[in-house]
Amino acid sequence: MSVAIIIILFIVALFVAICLHELGHFIAAKRVGVKVEEFGLGIPPRLFGIKRGETIYSLNAIPIGAFVKAAGENDPTVPRSLAGKGPWTRLGIYAAGPLVNIFLAFVLLSAFFALPYSVIASNGLMVRAVVANSPAEESGIEPEDIILEVDGQPVHRQGDIQDIVNSGEEGAEITLLLLRNGQEEEITLKPELDLESQLLKIGVWLWLDMVSQVEEDSPAYEAGIRPGDAIHSINGQLVYNEESMSSALHSVEEGKEIKLVLLREGEMVSIALNNDGYETLPGVEMQWVEGVHFEQERLPVWRAVYLGARDIIYMPVLIIEAIPQIIESPDMALVGPIGAGQLTVEVVRSSGFSGILFMASMLSLGLAIFNFLPIPPLDGGG
């Protein structure tokens, strides 16, 4: 996901959170009989407005936030004024906006926890590539098939396959249980003798090139590569061993884009960086792991709702507890707008849709917290 799209999503999420916040003030004021002169989306100058009953509903030129204009906000002599209401009534109106934001954050966090998430599967090995003219190719095995069993025996590492295959006679058939596109499928094949190693082989590559470390400020880091990513392909060429990695990098002309497809927590992520004559990916340390694949898990709805409610309580407590430490140690101060924006980009880039939900929930919760602080400019126009 590009930075521009993430910034747009950030602005939209903030706009929606503020609009719902002001809608909370608006509904609360109406319910207790306060006259609302205007409910506006955006900040003036006004583009147009429609009057319904005693209230003008307006759309304004600057698409940041919203506002509610109540009669007599500071003058209790005005009929049906806000200032003319009792302190508890006014408090209810003021609190309605933040409470809407808290509820919105709760819904978004619950949805965030309810989304399926990827975990490394404990069974089976993913096929990275198939050797040409091998028994595996002839039997129809394809890259990204997952070998679950060989002759009825579960496999967890490449050595398991080798042991089972070589326990039989040359020319004897073996049966593989595959997982392909979520469906189990059985195939049979006859392993062939590799003359160099004198071992029976079926002809598959199982190794995955996993990123173990990325230097900050390196071209790879700036492009979005992170530890835990696996290199799936480079410019369309599948990466399954050192030779395929080197060949793919050398196929890209200097000055052209290196287009990588990464496997990140079970999802394919595309990124690009400029090729400045790299022999390897700059600033990246790799390690080869065998047959890693991911499976989807999902929390029960009740658990997702519980975690959403827990974090609604936990996050503000965390912020309040951090304030004395920040005052004592300026180095621990919260990041400014630019830093917050960079952090948002990182979260959404690495987590996709779930990151968007989390970002939106934190924006809504943050808006609620700041509106409860006794600082008038932080009231968001309410």
Q: Does the active-site annotation cover 22?
A: yes
DSSP code at position 306 = H
Sign of CA dihedral 193, 159, 165, 141: negative
Residue 226's identity, in one-letter code, is R
Q: Taking the CB of residue 145, how many other CB atoms lie within 10 A of it?
A: 23
Residue 375's identity, in one-letter code, is I
128 Rama class: left (phi>0) / alpha (psi -120 to 50) / beta: alpha
- Contact by Cβ (8 Å): 109, 360: no
- Which residues are CB-contacts of 45 (< 8 A; sequence separation ≥ 6)? 60, 61
Residue 24's identity, in one-letter code, is G
Question: Which own/partner pairs from 138-144 qualify as long-range (CB within 8 Å, at least 24 positions apart)?
Answer: 138/189, 139/176, 139/187, 139/188, 139/189, 140/187, 141/176, 141/178, 141/187, 141/189, 141/202, 141/204, 142/180, 143/238, 144/180
- Angle between helical axes of 301-328 and 353-372 (0-180°, round to 10): 50
C-alpha–C-alpha distance, residues 4 and 236, integer Å = 25
Residue 98's identity, in one-letter code, is P
Question: Quick one: which H or E segment has residue 345?
Answer: helix 337-351
- Contact by Cβ (8 Å): 274, 249: no
Catalytic member of 22, 38, 149, 192: 22
Strands 294-297, 117-120: pairing kind = antiparallel
C-alpha–C-alpha distance, residues 36 and 378, integer Å = 21
Burial class (CB in 10 A: 0-12, 13-18, 19+), 32: middle
Catalytic residue numbers, as ranges: 22
